[in-house]
């Protein structure tokens, strides 16, 4: 988490944490962490696409672009990803 805050999150590669389940819902998705027993609501299908695509891209920025996030919307998605990283829902790709 410390490293997520110190550099721009969008320039790093991320993936969904192994203890996390992602469940699509009409409004977006539910993200559940089996370890912390916390639930996060993703309130946009586009954000779900971004999160699902994280693992396939070298950086979160590329994942956002690939999902079709407008440049003007990027800060919002970056904040959303920061929240997810803070809750341990997504982890850096290079984390063991």
Which token pair is 59? 């950086």
Contacting range for another protein; rule: CB under 8 A; set: 2-10, 41-49, 54-62: 41-49
Taking CB under 8 A as the criterion, the residue among 11, 34, 55, 94 binding another protein is: 34
Nearby residues of 83 by Cβ (< 8 Å), 6 or more positions away: 40
- Where does this chain touch another protein (CB under 8 A) — which range of 1-9, 10-18, 52-60, 77-85? 77-85
Q: Three-class SS of residue 58?
A: coil
Distance of CA 7 to the CA centre of its chain: 16
* Residue 92 interacting with another protein (CB under 8 A): no
Say how many C-beta atoms besides its own lie within 10 A of residue 77's C-beta: 23
Residues in the site for another protein, rule: CB under 8 A? Answer: 21, 23-27, 30, 32, 34, 36-44, 47, 76-77, 79-80, 83-84, 87
């Amino acid at each position: 988490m410390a490293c997520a805050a110190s550099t721009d999150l969008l320039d790093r590669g991320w993936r969904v944490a192994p203890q996390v389940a992602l469940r699509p819902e009409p409004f977006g998705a539910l993200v559940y962490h089996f370890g912390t027993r916390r639930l996060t609501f993703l309130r946009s299908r586009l954000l779900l696409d971004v999160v699902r695509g994280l693992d396939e891209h070298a950086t979160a920025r590329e994942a956002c672009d690939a999902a079709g996030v407008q440049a003007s919307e990027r800060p919002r998605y970056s904040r959303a990803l920061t929240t997810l990283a803070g809750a341990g829902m997504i982890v850096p790709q290079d984390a063991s």
